[in-house]
Amino acid sequence: MSENLTLVTMGGDYAERYGFRDPEDFFVKAPKGLNHEVVEMISRLKKEPEWMRELRHKALDTFLAKPMPSWGNLDMLSRINFDEITYYLRSTEKQETSWDEVPENIKRTFDRLGIPEAERKFLAGVTAQYESEVVYHSVKEELTKQGVIFLDMDSGLREHEDLVREYFASVIPVADNKFSALNSAVWSGGSFIYIPPHTEVTIPLQAYFRINAENMGQFERTLIIADEGAKVHYIEGCTAPVYSTNSLHSAVVELIAKKGATIRYTTIQNWATNIYNLVTKRAVALEDARVEWVDGNIGSRLTMKYPAVVLKGERAHGEVLSIAFAGPGQHQDAGAKITHLAPHTTSQITSKSISKDGGRATYRGLVKVRKGAEGCKTSVQCDALLIGHGARTDTYPTMEIDEDDVRVEHEARVSKLGDEQLFYLRSRGLTDAQARLMIVNGFIEPFVRELPMEYAVELNRLIELEMEGSVG
Amino acid sequence: MSTNDTLIFACHDVHVTVGDREVVKGVDLAIRRGEIHAIMGPNGSGKSTLANALMGHPMLTLSGRVELAGEEIAELDPDEKARRGLFLAFQYPVAIPGVTVASFLRAAVSARRGAEVPVREFRKELVARMEQLEMNPSFAGRYLNEGFSGGEKKRLEILQLLMLQPRFALLDETDSGLDIDALKIVAQGINAAATAESGILLVTHYQRLLNYVKPHVVHVFMDGRIVRSGGPELALELEERGYDWLEPVAAAGGGR
């Protein structure tokens, strides 16, 4: 551990449990900063096909040409120094399928985070990404026999080039926004999943993302295709050491739910508070398909993330259920985007945010209904809870409805953790801290009950840490 | 046994202010173990303020001495008072969305007993107490007071009284908003909680609860003071004559 790095003060025991760091031991590391040489180096290292190499270079041009977003937390965004970031870092020579083969220091990291144990207990498959590359990957044999493909994105491109070429950037075009262009230029790692028709993967697949190095950029790319009538639940988690300098995490996630398919994508984002988390996530749902984003944001300095569902086929259903916890110095700018293109499509957005002691949460949502998409239903509910002094919440719900035959429900509520609620609980013997935690846990309960049990326990524990040292 | 040993609850010269307005203007009470007292008074007389201030409501400032089983508790935080055995049944219990009745009660019972109550033991006790109050078992899984009817809220307060087994309970308008059947059940719960060792103070506007819960002492509360104390017959007299005939007494006592 370098002595000259100061630990950023964080609530709870993040530094101890997740914030530990390993010596930066790399196999290949790109020089700092971003240019065509770095892009070329990444593509050559990965021995990619020509079309991908070209896509990366074009994407870099797009990234460089596009201005930074003109909305959101401009002050925080202006602090990202793209020249100081390392865009590619490979720590190991190759990917392993057995934890025993993973280099000792990295294995220790994932052991401390409980990943191998979780895999044994309740997962159908796991990828573990460390810096830019997936260092461990494993999937239950019976899934492979059913024709399920669960690979890291690089292997996906090598082994299933046709599928990747067909769908890569089909949901989120390279030029969608500045950060999708950045990801497209320097992407590395992430998951590639294909579920064959009428195949149900009943136990979750998980990916775990770890950034260890300082001033690092992680740009994983995930593509999930659920074929007709297929069903899958994918879960991702992430942590990083706590540094005083900033790192950047900018993922692109594309989901394709074909006719009658169901995809649930669950995220528990617990980055250290020096990470800028600028992520683009979008799904396309065809006829009778169902896509659910279950999105929990606890960590990071600034998160800007608006999981989207494009309801393209009749009767498709899209759902975004999210919670955000913004402590001191954090800004969670999160939301959802639903586009109703086909008749009788339905959507539901439930957003819950907690801002505490100077923390800031923003809900930014967009629901669009195109002309001709008759009989659609959409419901948006935003609840914000303010705790302590200087906490801030903003809600920007936008509706663009071009069709008359639509049912729209919208409800927004802001509440302050109330004196009367606290007094009631304290009059029953609960301490001030216990009472606050109970109120907050109750507030996020609609989210927590959607998580697999192990994740619910972990999330409640994270919230408990965040609530420590809470003052009136 | 000296007087102090038999007293479960006492207050001396208690004043309560809301902001800079004095609402309770000097109250003395001495309640012995095994006794039920009733404070009756018209709306706005300050009796609910007294009950909330005794529990330690943060918006109310209390001065004077308050003793629970001989120990001074006036300065303690509400949770400390609760753990020592003081209880307040709220007139308007607040909702806590997302927290089930069962998980709330288990946390409260654990706090009161000073040790985590094992789940199975807790469940058994909860089911028995709920049966006693003729509550549907599904009640335990509902969110605390969220969407509860007035009667359901009051019943839940009494369920808490039975589960927490306080040494001294303040019951603030527990009879309001109850139909006659619910009133009987609630009264039966209060009677079950009244043990030889504990004490109860009923704060009420009407005397109809007193048909089912027999107080040993009735205090008439007007304009921030106890203006008269007597036996159960005083409640009947109030029922018959209202509070108006007492008004001059309050004024004579130094009123506003």
The residue assigned the tokens 């029953």 is A428
A50 touches chain B (CB under 8 A): no
pLDDT value of residue A382: 95
Chain A interface test: which of B73, B79, B81 (most A C-beta within 10 Å): B79
Point out the residue among A419, A428, A431 whose CB comes nearest to the CB of B59: A419
Distance from CA of A415 to the nearest CA of B (A): 12
Distance from CA of B87 to the nearest CA of A (A): 7
pLDDT digits (tens, 9 = 90+) for B60-76: 999 999 999 999 999 99
- Are A426 and B160 a contacting pair at CB < 8 A? no
B122 touches chain A (CB under 8 A): no
Distance from CA of A262 to the nearest CA of B (A): 27
B87 touches chain A (CB under 8 A): yes
pLDDT value of residue A106: 86
Contact A184, A59 (CB under 8 A): yes
A428 touches chain B (CB under 8 A): yes
B82 touches chain A (CB under 8 A): yes
Q: In terms of CA atoms, which chain A residue is nearest residue B170?
A: A427
- The domain segmentation of chain B, as residue ranges, is 3-93+166-252
- Are B82 and A425 a contacting pair at CB < 8 A? no
Distance from CA of B73 to the nearest CA of A (A): 14
A144 touches chain B (CB under 8 A): no
Point out the residue among A430, A432, A445 whose CB comes nearest to the CB of B111: A430
A431 touches chain B (CB under 8 A): yes
Query: Is CATH 3.40.605.10 correct for B3-93+166-252?
Result: no
Angle at B211 between CA B14 and CA B38, to 5 degrees: 5
Instruction: Sort out which chain B residues have CB atoms less than 8 A from A428's CB and list them.
Output: 79, 82, 104, 107-108, 111-112, 160, 164
- Are A441 and B96 a contacting pair at CB < 8 A? no
Q: Which residues of chain A have pLDDT under 50?
A: 1-11, 470-472
pLDDT value of residue B207: 82
Q: What is the pLDDT of chain A when averaged over all its residues?
A: 91
Domain boundary, last residue among A249, A279, A305: A305
- Are B160 and A428 a contacting pair at CB < 8 A? yes
Q: In terms of CA atoms, which chain A residue is nearest residue B88?
A: A427
The segment with the largest mean pLDDT, out of A441-455, B17-31, B240-254, is: B17-31
The number of C-alpha atoms within 13 Å of A413 and in the hemisphere containing its C-beta is 11
Q: In terms of CA atoms, which chain A residue is nearest residue B51?
A: A427
pLDDT value of residue A404: 94
Domain boundary, last residue among A286, A305, A324: A305
Point out the residue among B77, B143, B144 whose CB comes nearest to the CB of A426: B77
- The structural domain count of chain A equals 2
Pairing of strands B36-40, B60-68: unpaired
pLDDT value of residue A469: 53
Judged by DSSP in three states, A111 sits in helix
Distance from CA of A322 to the nearest CA of B (A): 16
A60 touches chain B (CB under 8 A): no
Instruction: Sort out which chain B residues have CB atoms less than 8 A from A422's CB and list them.
Output: 58
A426 touches chain B (CB under 8 A): yes
In angstroms, the CA B216 to CA A243 distance is: 68
- Are B108 and A419 a contacting pair at CB < 8 A? no
pLDDT value of residue A201: 94
Instruction: Sort out which chain B residues have CB atoms less than 8 A from A350's CB and list them.
Output: none
Q: In terms of CA atoms, which chain A residue is nearest residue B86?
A: A427
Element (H, E) at A443: helix A432-448
The domain in which residue A430 lies consists of 422-472
Angle at B29 between CA B28 and CA B31, to 5 degrees: 165
Strands (E) in A1-60, as ranges, are 28-29
- Give the confidence band of B248 by pLDDT, cuts at 50, 70, 90: low
Q: Name the least confident of A49-58, A203-212, B222-231, B243-252.
A: B243-252
User: ipTM of the assembly?
Assistant: 0.95
A405 Cβ partners below 8 Å, 6+ apart? A374, A375, A376
% of chain B at pLDDT higher than 90? 84
Point out the residue among B78, B81, B98 whose CB comes nearest to the CB of A442: B98
The residue assigned the tokens 């109850």 is B178
DSSP 8-state code for residue B211: G
- Are B107 and A434 a contacting pair at CB < 8 A? yes
pLDDT digits (tens, 9 = 90+) for A47-87: 999 999 999 999 999 999 999 999 999 999 999 999 999 99
Domain boundary, last residue among A275, A305, A335: A305
B77 touches chain A (CB under 8 A): yes
H-state helical runs in A191-268: none
In a domain, A4, yes or no: no
Instruction: Sort out which chain B residues have CB atoms less than 8 A from A429's CB and list them.
Output: 79, 82-83, 108, 111-112, 164
A117 touches chain B (CB under 8 A): no
Residue A323, both tokens: 């919670």
In a domain, A268, yes or no: yes
pLDDT value of residue A12: 57
H-state helical runs in A66-146: 74-77, 104-112, 115-122, 141-145
Most distant CA atoms of chain B, gap in Å: 58
B221: which strand partners?
A: B226
Chains A, B: CB contacts under 8 A, how many? 80
A445 touches chain B (CB under 8 A): yes
In angstroms, the CA A362 to CA A336 distance is: 11
Q: Indicate whether A282 and A431 sit together in one domain.
A: no
In a domain, A3, yes or no: no
Distance from CA of B225 to the nearest CA of A (A): 25
Point out the residue among B78, B98, B108 whose CB comes nearest to the CB of A446: B98
Element (H, E) at A52: helix A50-65
pLDDT digits (tens, 9 = 90+) for B5-23: 789 999 999 999 999 999 9
Instruction: Sort out which chain B residues have CB atoms less than 8 A from A425's CB and list them.
Output: 96, 104
- Are A431 and B104 a contacting pair at CB < 8 A? no
- Are A438 and B90 a contacting pair at CB < 8 A? no
